[in-house]
Amino acid sequence: MSLEYVANEDLKVKFTNSAGPPDLLYTGDKGIDLTEVVPTLSTHCKANSKKVATTLITVVWTSLGCPFTSVTHTFIAGAALVQTSALKTKADGFIVLREGDSSLLGCIGSWTPPSTPPLSIPCACSVEISDAGQTKAKAQ
């Protein structure tokens, strides 16, 4: 297994759409926040003076927050879990997350068109930590 940068509080998550409305526009990679992109953070271990992300990242989108926009459809909700792929390196007893870690199932959600009755359209994205937030500490 290769060495990859350890993810910290400044990490960014990239979403790549594979299903959904045809007019989706990507607004950019997302950083962590209190409700939508939530990692498990180490209480003691740091990488580049920021807490290390461990175990998993939970992604929950409600009607707002999705990193895609559409002129013709309204986003309803979506969710994903990003899991660690590291084998050895731990922080506070938990395996660390690294740049390149991804979700096995991706992000699954739905959109509604302005039709009557509004039938939901499924959407799907691959999800990956695109930026670890630091370039000093690596893990296997």
Residue type, 117: P
Percentage above 90 pLDDT, the chain: 89
Query: Does residue 140 register a pLDDT over 80?
Result: yes
Kindly report, residue by residue over 69-79, the tens digit of the pLDDT.
999 999 999 99
- Average pLDDT of the segment spanning 31-58: 95
Give the pLDDT band (50/70/90) at residue 2. confident
Do residues 15 and 126 touch, judged by C-beta distance below 8 A? Answer: yes
Kindly report, residue by residue over 13-30, the tens digit of the pLDDT.
999 999 999 999 999 999
For residue 47, the number of C-alpha atoms closer than 13 Å in the C-beta half-sphere is 29
